[in-house]
Structure 1
């Protein structure tokens, strides 16, 4: 093989996207608006909801069919893997505090801001733009979810288990669902017996009559007492310390 061919191959590789060695930078840094090219809005700096904990896209094979023609056409020309592996020396933004901006100060500031609003007079409360405050809080909830769930590092969650998924009566017994995003999912009467649900996001999930017998929900986030009260479980179910076992459980 000639030196010219070798040089050509090296240049071609360096200028082509290598997603296996990238930390999903284009799926986080770039903003986009709902349009013919993108199925929903996303702010810059916010991870796409389709980005998995292993930095791979959960719908990569079906991007165009799912409404993401813009993603299927995008090419970083090798910038992603170079920034990930050279600029940041292989230290990913989820687990390296020196590359991922800590969010604790921002969370505290947002909490204190909302707390002050709750102390306003009834007249002032009626003038608040609730949607704006909800959107601000939601941004931090999403970032918190990403950071927590990333710790599970689960690479092969079932495709049907995702944000907003319809899992009514689903047979999920004994499955390893660590770090799953079940935000807004319909889990009505789902069989979650002995499932591993550690570090799973349950915000807004409908869990009426779901069976949590023997399930491990240790470290799960945004799970409320009201959600737990609507489920069934037993003495072997493990809940976050902030929640109590409902009286009707076995």
Structure 2
């Protein structure tokens, strides 16, 4: 994965802390409207409680990942001009909310073109990547006019095909739990290799020791899922956000390129 698709907060003007809304819940201690700076945001665009977000009631912030959209809008789209200095802040925030899903699509496409079983699709995947990338490098007006749902549909068709070709390499019957409600499900030691878990609700599911190799987990909700000892070595389209949202331990296997969250050490005890 290229650095362009990794969040670089040092080159962003804390757009996620301002542009996006959140509601008081288990993930956030307060309610904040879109376009309103978080109360913890400092004048230099840093978070005043960054080291204590979980303890202060903001675990939702620790799992967020902009896939590099923040620095793209800050440094490329607006040429280093922060939202505080912009004549029309709304345009900056709107650009970020559009750039965010586009960069997420780039992240998925980048992984899809590394899947050997889907090599027949690699040219189409690369073409789609280049097309989306051109949009992210366009003018503000062009960016704001983008039909994100249409782009997502086009890309998703390729991702589904790449997933099917890759999961087909797993022998035996592969569970299809796409969009399934598996909240709190008892799946300890489950054989889910090659499974379709797209958009599945796995909130607080017990997945200890489960085999999730080559399972398609795009959009799956892993909040508070217990992944201790689980094998997600080459899970398809697994993001850092999903990993951060779950609980795991030293025995949890995750794909190369993703980081083991600091809070996992405590969760795995």
> TM-score w.r.t. structure 2 length?
0.53
The residue aligned with 2:259 is 244
Instruction: Please give the per-residue CA displacement for 1:43-81, whole angstroms capped at 9, x wherever unaligned.
Output: xxxxxxxxxxxxxxxxxxxxxxxxxxxxxxxxxxxxxxx
Instruction: Please give the per-residue CA displacement for 1:160-214, whole angstroms capped at 9, x wherever unaligned.
Output: x510000000000011110001000000000000000000111111110000000
1:179/1:156 CA distance change after superposition, 3 Å: closer
Q: 2: CA distance between counterparts of 1:134 and 1:187?
A: 23
CA contact under 8 A between 2:174 and 2:194: conserved in structure 1? no
Q: Which has the larger radius of gyration?
A: 1
Work out whether 1:142 is the aligned partner of 2:160.
Answer: yes
The residue aligned with 1:113 is 131
Q: 1: CA distance between counterparts of 2:204 and 2:127?
A: 38
Which one of 202, 213, 216 corresponds to residue 187 of structure 1?
202
Which one of 180, 184, 202 corresponds to residue 217 of structure 2?
202
CA contact under 8 A between 2:174 and 2:193: conserved in structure 1? no
Q: 2: CA distance between counterparts of 1:148 and 1:156?
A: 12
Q: 1: CA distance between counterparts of 2:247 and 2:126?
A: 34
Correspondence 1:68-217 to 2 at 5 A: 102-155=120-173, 157=175, 162-217=177-232
Give unmatched runs, 5+ long, in structure 2: 1-116
CA contact under 8 A between 2:208 and 2:227: conserved in structure 1? yes
CA contact under 8 A between 1:154 and 1:179: conserved in structure 2? no
Give unmatched runs, 5+ long, in structure 1: 1-96
SS in 2 for 1:170: coil
1:212/1:101 CA distance change after superposition, 3 Å: closer
SS in 2 for 1:102: helix
Q: 2: CA distance between counterparts of 1:129 and 1:230?
A: 29
CA contact under 8 A between 2:174 and 2:192: conserved in structure 1? no
The offset of 1:156, in angstroms, is: 5.6
Q: How many residues align?
A: 149
The residue aligned with 1:39 is none
1:103/1:216 CA distance change after superposition, 3 Å: same
The offset of 1:126, in angstroms, is: 1.7
Point out 4+ residue stretches in structure 1 off by more than 6 angstroms: none
> TM-score w.r.t. structure 1 length?
0.57
